[in-house]
A and B are shown apart, each in its own frame.
Chain A
């Protein structure tokens, strides 16, 4: 009976206190790549632990695996079946949400790309760059397996000099190359899979910030920190009619302050974070798999 309790506790810790604590600390920003891996491990481990708890609970009620003794007349066994069904339901819900987000994202992105191709002019010098005749300063990328686009508005071009534009493009290309959109998509799927009153924005927000930092680091390695920081300030600090709408707490200040600091290089911290990420995934997996493997070995032996 101890395994399901432990797994459930692990799932609860990984969905509540652990993300909250991690989001409040600043050390993950020093090692964005490892931090993304840690967030992914936390999310995946929480799901595994929750599902594992359901499976383990049904075991401990209905007897050991390998020797099923399901008796429809016993309330214990019916309860076990119900728990197993509920666990399966959670899994189905998760997969459905992930699929829904994937399809929806692609549809919206395709429509957007069609509009960009219709309204924006390709830049003759930089392949894949589209220029939008809009005064609002805008720079973003449209990820895709083939035919990804980087879109920049005239308003943004007016505010950037050549080096700054290069930094912006390097940043966007880093997003496209590393497919950061897929990372965000996974977290969005997880986010939408849970009802509004239990889910939190923490993981998704952190993932968003961390991929920006990753792309910043890439651009910094290519062009140095200054053009990128100038570009960030020029585009974010410029008065725009919609300023009020995006007034949510942004990561822009963090990004520029980070560029003003020394170049991040923390191999030990990164290695430690990766180790924790791996352990997080291995422990619940083994806990769930162990009784099954044991039963198989017993059955064969």
Chain B
């Protein structure tokens, strides 16, 4: 995926494989499977080029990251409980109450 983000144009499986070969030993078929899976997840887009598929990232990295954060912070206006957050943000008053309660706990022995 990094290779697709780095590349200016859409890449074939062979091109991705060649670029990866410098740093990692990967089988051609592995690269093909991974790219195919990424396309099914709509993370990459692909187009026919003769007999081969050309793959391109569906969006720049920053855009995916922004998507992820929007979803994680529940700002999409979607009330479904897709993920369970550890803790939400609190207001200033609540933060003061929090510190107070924590101080009481810290004072306890043990």
The residues of A with any CB-CB pair to B shorter than 8 Å are 101, 104-105, 108-109, 111-112, 114-116, 118-119, 132, 134, 136, 138-143, 151, 168, 171-172, 175, 180-181, 184-185, 188, 191-192, 208, 211, 225-226, 229-233, 235-237, 240, 242-243, 245-248, 250, 252-253, 255-257, 259-260
Contact = CB atoms under 8 A, between A and B. Distances in A.
Nearest to A136: B69
Given A142-B83, A243-B91, 7 more contacts: A109-B82, A118-B64, A185-B81, A191-B79, A243-B90, A245-B89, A257-B101
Given A184-B81, A235-B86, A245-B89, A226 B67 contact: no
21 contacts: A108-B80, A112-B82, A114-B43, A119-B65, A138-B85, A143-B84, A226-B106, A229-B102, A233-B99, A236-B87, A236-B98, A242-B73, A242-B75, A243-B91, A246-B74, A247-B90, A250-B90, A250-B94, A253-B90, A253-B98, A260-B104
B21 interface: no
Interface of B: 1, 38, 41, 43, 61, 64-65, 67-69, 71-75, 78-91, 94-95, 97-99, 101-102, 104-106, 108
A105 B81 contact: yes
B83 A109 contact: yes
Contact of B86 (A143, A172, A191, A240): A172
A237 B102 CA distance: 11
Contact of B95 (A111, A172, A236): A236
A252 B67 contact: no
